[in-house]
């Protein structure tokens, strides 16, 4: 199966899987946050959940309906911090406007206490790095105190050997219907697109894509 894509950034790196699902419907509607959370065991989409943004304000994930999402746990003092924030910024800058990609970053201090700061300190850290995507309140992603959204993500896309999040910068790709379709750890190098050396060209290059069985997000694309 062949799909046509436009220019792909040179530093696409670990997030090449996101391109597979970047055929989106733009949505301008914002739904007010609901008080109740979805049940992580029975919920079908991320739209059933609410999370507090970095200012402590509840946000219904219904606001992201029709968008492809990258949901990621982040930390300010991790060895992966600089590289992953750089690539997340580049992804967002490349595809937020043109394709409607949304990135939801959740600070987490469960891995070697690498996100020790409070909300104000985290915001200052990310402001210096010119992060423009959506930042949420610091949460737990594992254990009994894990946020219901993250319980749901782990239920839908389990990990290798265990479903628990193993480290910072674990990424879940959510399709435009709100369904988690892929999960990637911070070390994952699994490009689902065979990319030639990036060049500027008038005609978008054609990329060979594996079968839909290997690419659950391919269902949201059209040739």
Catalytic residues: 78
Token code pair at residue 2: 């062949």
* Dist CA 26 CA 149 (whole Å): 23
Note whether 204 and 6 are within 8 A (CB). yes
Beta partners for residue 52, in sequence order: 58
Q: What is d(CA 7, CA 198) in angstroms, rounded to the nearest whole number? A: 8
For the chain, report the end-to-end CA distance as a whole number of angstroms: 9
Cβ burial 144-180 (10 Å sphere, 16+ → b, else e) = eebbbbbbbbbebbeeeeebebebbbbbbbbbbebbb
DSSP code of residue 103? E
């Amino acid at each position: 199966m062949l799909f046509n894509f436009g220019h792909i950034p040179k530093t696409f790196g670990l997030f090449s899987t996101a391109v597979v699902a970047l055929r989106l419907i733009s949505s301008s509607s914002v739904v007010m946050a609901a008080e109740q959370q979805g049940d992580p065991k029975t919920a079908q989409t991320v739209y059933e959940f609410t999370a507090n943004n970095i200012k402590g304000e509840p946000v219904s994930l219904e606001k992201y309906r029709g968008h492809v999402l990258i949901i990621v746990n982040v930390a300010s003092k991790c060895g992966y911090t600089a590289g992953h924030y750089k690539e997340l910024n580049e992804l967002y800058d490349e595809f937020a406007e043109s394709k409607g990609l949304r990135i939801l970053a959740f600070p987490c201090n469960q891995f070697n206490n690498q996100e020790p700061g409070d909300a104000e300190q985290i915001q200052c850290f990310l402001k210096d790095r010119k992060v423009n995507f959506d930042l949420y309140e610091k949460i737990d992603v594992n254990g009994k105190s894990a946020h219901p959204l993250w319980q749901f993500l782990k239920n839908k896309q389990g990990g290798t050997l265990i479903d628990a999040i193993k480290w910072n910068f674990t990424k879940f790709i959510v399709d435009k219907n709100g369904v988690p379709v892929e999960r990637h750890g911070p070390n994952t190098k699994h490009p689902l697109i065979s990319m030639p050396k990036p060049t500027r060209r008038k005609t978008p290059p054609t990329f060979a894509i594996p079968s839909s069985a290997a690419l659950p997000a391919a269902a949201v694309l059209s040739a």
